[in-house]
Amino acid sequence: MSVEGVQVADRRAVKSDVLDSGGRRSRRWFGTDGVRGIVGESITEELVERVGRAATLWSGRGRVLVGRDTRASGPALEAALARGIVDAGGTAVLAGVLPTPAVALLSQDLGLVVSASHNPPEYNGVKVFDREGHKLTDADELEIEALLDATGSGGGSIEEAVDATGGYVEHVVEHFGSDLSGLRIAVDCANGAYSAIAPGVFERLGAEVTALANAPDGSNINAGCGATDLGMLRSAVGVGGYDLGIAFDGDGDRMLAVDGAGEVVDGDQILAICALALGVELVVVTTMTNMGFHRLMADRGIRVVTTDVGDRYVLEALRAEGGMLGGEQSGHVIVLDGHVTGDGLAAALTLCRSLAGRPLAEAAAVMPRYAQAKENIVGSTTVPPLVIAEVERLNRQLDGSGRVLVRPSGTEPLIRVLAEAEAAEEAAELCASIAELVRREARER
């Protein structure tokens, strides 16, 4: 079995002022998912104001829905974003704390979210959606970057959004809800944007719910909780007799699950469960997706399209292929039947419906899993040519029995290494050898 495009991926996410390997100008500020960084360092009120102005000018000075997650820096950056929108002649429609997928769904002429998604509390940034709720293309982001130093004519205004949360909840319940009576669920809200929303939705649908990490204080978003740290949820489910646990990230665009024994069910497994239950003919995934997923889909006659890492690339492929289901191992599960983007709550409800009364562990067991070993090398943002050559050599040698993937992160200053094989020991050895080569090349540069 072979998987296309699994050698070195996501070169487009490297932030740089120089031309990329294809001779195109790279984005300086936009990464895999918006503009983000540590507040007070790469992310400042001045930069966010410029982004607000540039994005509004790019969209045509219309109405801009603005949401944010629960970070302490959010209100000040929201105000800066609004200043930029107003200076560009637009109307900033402020919705306050609102999950990222809700902003996409309710986007007006533009939708902007002050958020750093799954990153720690000291990070923040801006995500951008067009008037259809779609994430922008690389070309769109380059056009916005070209307007960062543009001046506005002023004359804009600020409004408060009217019950954006209520409208979003009604839409999600209508399109993705089902009878959850008898289901006992622990819901980890990551002290983020779903804290005041998700537990109530599950209860409304009949589930017995215990809410975790649902008391945001500005400094605890994604801190020891949520989709990036499942330890608390695993412990709670393991000792509490729950049927399953659901964990969101801080802005609500991704989710992961744990089964009744507290074992992790990742995005690949969730996607597999949903693909079989929904009866789709096509599913879109990224280069990080487990080879066991590809094997299962091939056995079931479901076509798989593979993209670079980043849910926006999955979304682009879904629209191009006319598909409705896709996602990432990290928990971006995208169901476009009634939505415009990935939505953690919609994905969680789709998973619950797909179980059809089965235990989560039983449903997840249908997908074989290759062993994966991962390592992040901090400080490097470019994959050295010698590493690329070695990865290509190893993948030729493995010939489908495993693989190695090396890519720069689109959201953090690091290189990610993934090795996959049927045996855990082989995966670990492959990962360690490539990671050491990356470090050695970085030292010698």
Give pLDDT tens digits for 120-168.
Answer: 999 999 999 999 999 998 899 999 999 999 999 999 999 999 999 999 9
Last residue of a domain, one of 369, 391, 416: 369
pLDDT, tens digit, for every residue of 48-72? 999 999 999 999 979 999 999 999 9
pLDDT, tens digit, for every residue of 183-216? 999 999 999 999 999 999 999 999 999 999 999 9
> 382 and 354, same structural domain?
no
pLDDT (0 to 100) of residue 430: 95
Q: Which domain holds residue 296?
A: 266-369
What is the pLDDT confidence band of residue 118, given thresholds at 50, 70 and 90? very high
* Residue 117: active-site member: yes
Last residue of a domain, one of 107, 132, 162: 162
Residue at 16 is within a domain: no
What is the pLDDT confidence band of residue 20, given thresholds at 50, 70 and 90? very low
Active-site pick, 59, 117, 330, 409: 117
> What's the chain's length in residues?
445
DSSP assignments along 370-394, one per residue: -EEEEEEEET--S--HHHHHHHHHH
Last residue of a domain, one of 227, 244, 263: 263
Residue at 292 is within a domain: yes
Cβ pair 292, 370 in contact under 8 A:
yes
pLDDT (0 to 100) of residue 126: 98
pLDDT (0 to 100) of residue 38: 95
> 197 and 144, same structural domain?
no
Tokens for 333, please give them: 């599960």
> 294 and 378, same structural domain?
no
Task: Say which residue the tokens 């969101």 belong to.
Answer: 248
Residue at 167 is within a domain: no
Average pLDDT over residues 16-37: 63
- Return d(Cα 294, Cα 297) in angstroms, integer: 5
> 121 and 37, same structural domain?
yes
pLDDT (0 to 100) of residue 28: 81
Residue at 117 is within a domain: yes
> 54 and 74, same structural domain?
yes
User: Could you give the number of structural domains in the chain?
Assistant: 4
> 156 and 47, same structural domain?
yes
pLDDT (0 to 100) of residue 8: 31
